[in-house]
Amino acid sequence: MRAIFLASLLLQLTFQTFTTWFALHGTERFGLRPEDVTIGMIAWAVGGVIGALPAGFIGVRIGRRNAPVPRERRGVLAALFLPCMALGGAIGDPLNGGFFDLVGGYQPLFLMMAGYTALAFVAVLFVPRGTGEADTGPGSACGVTQA
């Protein structure tokens, strides 16, 4: 589970770095007002939501696997996942600001994003094989029928 949460943290740090880079690039390179950059970020987020709709439709039509997480542990895992994402949001901007001050510009933030993404990929490699796969055997939650 540590690898999953580390990958989640790094994913959030990548997102925080992207938003910082996007805002600075828009204001400094193109001379846009901060509120115009914000509208661009909102449009980008809405595009992501719209893009997720076909993926959900395909998942429902073709099928998806259920995670082999027992019901009694789902709340705990969700409770651990959310603070991990919040931690990435909380430390992402100060890290980006410190890096920005250190290098004197926003251009290297794109490399920082690539670094976070590469580390997240490495963390995913440490997720044990079979994690998230549905167990459809006789003793699994999916295979047990209620009488």
In the chain, where the domains are located: 2-34+82-123
* pTM check: above 0.85: no
Q: Which regions of the chain are under pLDDT 70?
A: 63-67, 69, 130-147
- Give the pLDDT of residue 105: 86
* Mean predicted lDDT score pLDDT of the chain: 82
d(Cα 123, Cα 6) in Å, to the nearest integer?
Answer: 7
The two structure tokens encoding residue 128: 């044990």
d(Cα 104, Cα 4) in Å, to the nearest integer?
Answer: 33
Which 8-state DSSP code applies to residue 128?
A: P
d(Cα 136, Cα 27) in Å, to the nearest integer?
Answer: 53
